A and B are shown apart, each in its own frame.
Chain A
Amino acid sequence: MNRQAPAAEFPRTVLRGLSGLVAAAVLVLLCSGAAGAAAPESAKVSPEPAAKPAGQALLAYGDEDIWDENGQVIKKTAQGEKMTLADAAANTPDPLEGWNRMWFTFNDKLYFWALKPVSQGYAYVIPERPRLWVRNFFHNLMFPVRFTSLMLQAKFDAAAVETSRFIGNTAFGLGGFGDVTGDSKPFRPIPSTEQDLGLTFGYWGMDNGFYLVWPFIGPSSGRDTLGYAGDYFLTPQSYLNPWYWSIASKSYDKVNEVSLRLGDYDTLVEASLDPYEAVRDAYLRLRFKRMND
């Protein structure tokens, strides 16, 4: 029996070491992120941005686009500036491309060799309806992330609606399995409640910094990595003890989510000539849209 004590102690020390590492990484990112956030401000003020990466002009090609991706009429800016804000977001620098491509390939294999077969088998055994309940449950559980982000973005109406949804679904939806509040619309339209800290930093004016692919987590950016680290502490599952329950529950959430979206990633990769580039563009544009929803 005595022998087991150090074994049980082991993950905890590892975890402590890890959290120290994460904290250090966050600090480093915070500094670089802050520098990145400061940079675009000055760029906006000066009429000509200092260094334009080649190929920027390509983003809006031919007859000038009249609408942006969401159907907003593009306001013509001075000096033939053709980029929309979404284009600028998609143009986030990718200085670590080689490194990112390596992890992209890793994640891609992980999806096709492990995540997809497991999700397919799971979807085969469990009908869609229970899987939607599970989705609701995990979505409800992530309430702290959304609430905190909305409060930090000063979207108090949306935060209030989100809170009442959380209370309603937890109390009357069997702890969140049922989405009983899904059909009730707020009296006044509210901004999207699907927010996280990365989007909050973006909402405050911080730009992506640089594009970054993490193993297991997938596409991210300097800013979103910082947000992700913050979200980690707002995710209830992170506090599950022992640590592998936390991983297991997050993995299960992922498998369940993928089982409801089987084929989405496949099509994007299948149809593209450079899947890495396609995913990068899609990720950055999707995040930009979420930020403004």
Chain B
Amino acid sequence: MKKISLILSVLVLSLGIAASAFAGEPQTRLKNGVDKVIAILSDRALKGPAKKNERQAKLRAVADSFFDWRELSRRTVAESWSKYTPKQQEEFIAAFSELLEKTYIRKIEKYNNEKVNYLREQVDGNHAFISTEVVMKDKKIPLNYVMIKHEQWMVYDVVVEGVSLVKNYRSQFHKILSKETPEGLLKRIRDKIKALDEGKNVDDVVGKEG
């Protein structure tokens, strides 16, 4: 009996090692990025409001090296993307990524040692879909990443509980673009960043949209 259980445990252990070793290139890269973010967030030297700017700059640098902002912007603006000149496209990418970083970095700064489980990796050509879950105190939140490889594997969409970031923005942009020019949309993003920088109340910003 002892022998069997020993063999079994060895088998299970080796399977576990094999499974982690076989994580493909996209997942390894994603995990690398997530681990870097967690390392910054758990770094004692970077904690506290005094270090806010330094910490956020570091997080932004990590985000920039793991997100394909061009792919993300192109997909959210969708059909109207070609209405922007190449220069405007660059401006759009810069503004939109700044908005996303500003708001979502603030959100992930509330990170409190939640564990991230990597559930499944699917690769098809230069696209990859990684399913993960974040274990919160009272529930698990499914968090999926869609990646693309141009030079390197980069994330271009994040899906939280079935809500895709790209598609959520696409429906907003579509609505705005049905009434306004592409330049108008770019201006709206910049206004929003400005409002956030000025530390306006969130509801003031909301009121303005109404």
Residues of A within 8 A of B (CB): 55, 58-59, 61-63, 66-67, 69-71, 73, 86-87, 90, 101, 105, 108-109, 112-113, 128, 132, 135, 260, 263, 266-267, 269-278, 280-282, 285-286, 288-290
Contact = CB atoms under 8 A, between A and B. Distances in A.
B167 A273 contact: no
B137 A132 contact: yes
A105 to B, nearest CB: 5
Contact of B210 (A58, A71, A101, A288): A101
Nearest to B185: A273
Contacts of A269: 202, 206
A184 to B, nearest CB: 16
Contact of B170 (A59, A86, A276): A59
Contacts of A281: 163, 167-168, 171-172
B188 interface: yes
Contacts of A59: 167, 170-171
B131 interface: yes
A135 B74 contact: no
Interface in B138-178: 138, 142, 144, 146, 159, 161-164, 167-176, 178
A260 B138 contact: yes
A69 B172 contact: no
B78 to A, nearest CB: 4
B contacts with A: majority SS: helix
Contacts of B142: 70
B40 interface: no
Contacts of A108: 203, 206
A286 B104 contact: no
Contacts, number: 126
Contact of A270 (B103, B122, B131, B138): B103
A290 B124 CA distance: 27
A278 B168 contact: yes
B106 interface: yes
B164 A277 contact: no
Contact of B122 (A61, A67, A286): A67
A274 B175 contact: yes
B127 A66 contact: yes
B44 interface: no
Residue of B79, B146, B170, B203 contacting most chain A CB atoms (<10 Å): B203
A270 B210 contact: no
A273 B100 CA distance: 11
